[in-house]
Chains A and B, each alone.
Chain A
Amino acid sequence: MSREAGHERPGLDRLQRWMQEVVVHPGSIEEAIASPAAEEEIPADSLENVVRPSHSMTAAERVGVYHGMYLMRMEEALETDYPVIRYHIGDHQFSHLVRAYVERYPSTSYTLNRLGDHLPQFFIDEPEWPQAPFLHDLARLELAMTEVFDERETPVLGAEDLESVAPESWEHARLQPIAALRVLDFKYSVVPHLTSFHDDRPTPSPRRRASWVAVYRRDYSVLRLELSRAEHDLLRDLVGGAPLGDALAAAAAAQKSARQQQKIFQWFRTWISEGLFSEIEI
């Protein structure tokens, strides 16, 4: 036994606070043990009073096993949710990002599935991060895809449901979206990065160009629909609960010609056939 005589045994709560501070510290194990947060619980020079060395490892090396696995685990979780960002910025920069991100937004959930929820916000918090505005948009797209993947299943409104609505009820009717739908607007063109990733091609340089996408789930597959600004605005209004009459009138007013106005009905048919709505409230 290497414990010093007269050493005060730390309580369970203090021991756990200390170990957590050491495990989640972003630096080396030596830096972690000597960090102010860890030292507040247990002084670094008392380490062997707390952790026993083994036949082959020092006390610091033994705690270091847990310390070394922490960031690896965080990185594994985040690369599952953000494969396109990782592909775009490369492994080295992604590791750097994970380290900074989990320091600011450590997991507070019982599931790692929620670890990446704050990544879009992280790029707002850290505007100096390379390509931060673009990565903010790309993170929003990838986060929407994971949210849609996990959303609860809701019924899908069919064409026959719509046909049963009396013509005089249409104006004030409201469409309820399925739970697994996100309607997104971006300052950057982000979809090409998604397709480059899937095709295993180099990602293009970020291009500042407004883009609009609906991400949704059908038959348990996550799908996306690229939208024009006008399509996005109408779909956003409908999803937001606008009465059909108001939403369609606003959309029609934004179209210059009768031919363009006809497109509205085409959009509408596409959204119904893709199963974006769950029910119609009369």
Chain B
Amino acid sequence: MTENRWGFPDLGLGIGLRTTHYPHILSEEPDIGFFEILTENYLDTGGRPLHILDRIAERYRIVMHGVSMSIGSTDPINFEYLAKVKELGERTGALWISDHICWTGVLGRNTHDLLPLPYTEESLRHSVERIKVVQDFLERPLVLENPSTYLEFADDDMTEWDFVGRLAEESDCGLLFDVNNVYVSAFNHGFDPVAYIDAIPGDRVCQYHLAGHTNKGTHIIDTHSDHVLDPVWELYGHTLRTVGLRATLLEWDADIPPFEIVHQEVLKADDWRREEVADVA
């Protein structure tokens, strides 16, 4: 068990803020540790979404989670985008800003997918340099999430966990450790998810993600469309024992049920958190 090296607080349990839940959140003010917002949904709007976000940010702690930083892309860094991210972070008082270890497009295009990076020395050097530039610009540590991936490159020089660990250490960034993504990628690529968890530098982990996925038989897709499955809860328990307590967020992005169901799902994490704390004590 480790402490987080930046002293980011353990915010308890959080839920991804989604439009469909706005009325419930505003009227019922549920007891939630924090909300995670999808950064890009609030960058270019001055209307209702930003108005509601301002109200929610007055009441709850906010963290930001983006999908378009494209940190591993060979395209130039988009500083106009980063300036808007930084401004939104200041507006909401976001405790940290996260994105993904991936690339989303090149040649000025955006596929809006979290495309996989090859785990090579070249790719590692490239991403590390870009993370340093982004962190200088944002004037805060960047927190990056391990992706779920559906292919492996034949030229990979190292395992995913070696890549993620070295990326974090060499760029001095934080990690958002997505337990479901580890499970998904482990199934798709045939590696041991426990070996992955055991290798992660725990003092760099700032937050956990949990989510449901869809098993297609030949592969698993990270759909965020269902309850968290038991094997993922087991891995979450192992992560708590290995890394320690961190802010834990449930993502539910497709077929989104009423707020109470999402809330009940994330509250299951409390049982695991209590159990692990009791074991350590």
* Residues of chain A at the chain B interface (Cβ within 8 Å): 1-3, 9-13, 15-17, 19-20, 23-24, 48-52, 54-57, 59, 61-63, 65-66, 69-70, 73-74, 77, 106-114, 148-153, 179-180, 217, 220-221
| Bound CA–CA A77/B41 (angstroms) | 12
Q: How far is the CA of A13 from the CA of B126 in the complex (A)?
A: 11
* B112 interfacial contact with A, CB 8 Å: yes
CA distance A240 to B103 in the complex (A): 43
B48 and A54 contacting across the interface, CB-CB below 8 Å: no
CB-nearest residue of chain A relative to B105?
A20
Residue of A10, A12, A62 ringed by the most chain B CB atoms within 10 A:
A12
Given contacts A61-B218, A70-B113, contact A52 B154 (CB under 8 A): yes
Is B155 at the interface (CB under 8 A from chain A)?
Answer: yes
Report the Cα distance A54→B219, complex, angstroms.
9
From B27-35, B73-81, B162-170, B171-179, give the one contacting chain A: B73-81
Contact B47 A149 (CB under 8 A): yes
User: Which one of B47, B74, B190, B221 contacts A16 once the chains associate, using CB atoms below 8 Å?
Assistant: B74
Inside 8 A of A54's CB, which chain B residues have their CB?
Answer: 151-152, 188-190, 218-219
> When A13-B74, A110-B40, A111-B68 are in contact, do A50 and B111 touch as well, CB less than 8 Å?
no
Partner of B46, one of A50, A77, A152, A221: A152
Contacts of A11 on B, CB cut-off 8 Å?
122
Q: Is the CB of B110 within 8 A of A107?
A: yes
Tell me if A63 and B151 are in contact (CB < 8 A): yes
Asked if residues B110 and A55 are in contact (CB atoms below 8 Å), the reply is no
CA distance A46 to B96 in the complex (A): 42
11 more A-B residue pairs beyond the given contacts A3-B154, A12-B120, A55-B190, with a C-beta to C-beta distance below 8 A: A3-B155, A15-B118, A51-B152, A52-B156, A62-B151, A62-B152, A110-B40, A112-B40, A114-B44, A151-B46, A152-B46
B105-126, CB under 8 A of A: which get 1 and which 0?
1111111110100101011001
User: Is the CB–CB distance between A108 and B112 below 8 Å?
Assistant: no
B106 and A57: CB pair below 8 A? no
A16 touches B106 (CB 8 A): yes
**Cβ of B43 and Cβ of A2 under 8 Å apart?**
no
A66, B44: Cβ atoms under 8 Å? no
Is B264 an interface position by the 8 A CB rule?
no
Interface size class of B (residues with CB under 8 A): 35 or more
- The answer, among A19, A49, A179, for a CB contact under 8 Å with B154, is A49
A220 to B48, Cβ gap below 8 A?
yes
Task: Name 5 interchain pairs, CB-CB below 8 A, sorted by A.
Answer: A2-B154, A24-B109, A50-B154, A50-B155, A70-B113
Give residues of chain B (182-198) contacting chain A, Cβ–Cβ below 8 Å.
188-190
A55 contact set on B, CB distance < 8 A: 190
Assess whether A12 is in contact with B126, with CB atoms less than 8 Å apart: yes
Task: Report yes or no: A52 in contact with B111, Cβ–Cβ below 8 A.
Answer: no
Partner of A73 from the list B112, B123, B156 (CB cut-off 8 Å) is: B112
B47 in contact with A217 (CB, 8 Å): yes
Q: Is the CB of A110 within 8 A of B51?
A: no
Q: In the complex the two chains form, what is the Cα distance from A178 to B70 in whole Å?
A: 35
Q: Are B46 and A57 in contact (CB under 8 A)?
A: no
Closest residue to A106 on the B side, CB-wise?
B109
**How many Å lie between the Cα of A54 and that of B218 in the bound state?**
9
Task: Return chain B residues, CB-CB under 8 Å to A217.
Answer: 47
Cα–Cα distance between A108 and B156 once the two chains are bound (Å): 29
Q: CB within 8 A of B219: which of A65, A107, A148, A221?
A: A65
Q: Which listed residue, B40, B154, B217, touches A51 by the CB 8 Å rule? A: B154
Contact check, A150 vs B46: say whether CB atoms are below 8 A apart: yes
How far apart are A106's CB and chain B's nearest CB, in angstroms? 5
A65→B155 CA distance, assembly (Å): 20
Report yes or no: A111 in contact with B154, Cβ–Cβ below 8 A: no
Within the assembled complex, what's the spacing in Å between the Cα atoms of A16 and B75?
Answer: 10
**B residues less than 8 Å from A110 (CB atoms):** 40, 43, 68, 78, 81, 110
Please give, as numbers and ranges, the residues of chain B lying within 8 Å of A152 by CB-CB distance: 46
Please measure, in the bound complex, the distance between the C-alpha atom of A65 and the C-alpha atom of B81, giving whole angstroms.
28
* Chain A residues in 8 Å Cβ range of B188: 54
The residue in chain A whose Cβ has the minimal distance to the Cβ of B70 is: A110
What's the minimum C-beta distance from B35 to chain A, rounded to whole angstroms? Answer: 19
Q: Which of B43, B106, B219 contacts A13 (CB 8 A)?
A: B106
**Which residues on the B side are within 8 Å of A24 (C-beta)?**
109, 111
Q: Is residue B233 contacting chain A, with contact meaning CB distance below 8 A?
A: no
Q: Are B219 and A23 in contact (CB under 8 A)?
A: no
Among B40, B107, B126, B189, point to the contact of A20 (Cβ < 8 A): B107
Chain A's closest residue to B104 (CB) is A110
Decide: B47 and A111 in contact? CB cutoff 8 A. no
Distance in angstroms from B84 CB to nearest chain A CB is 8
Contacts of B68 in A (CB 8 A): 110-111
Q: Is there an interface contact between A23 and B111, defined as CB atoms closer than 8 Å?
A: yes
Select the residue from A2, A48, A112, A179 with max chain B CB neighbours within 10 A.
A112
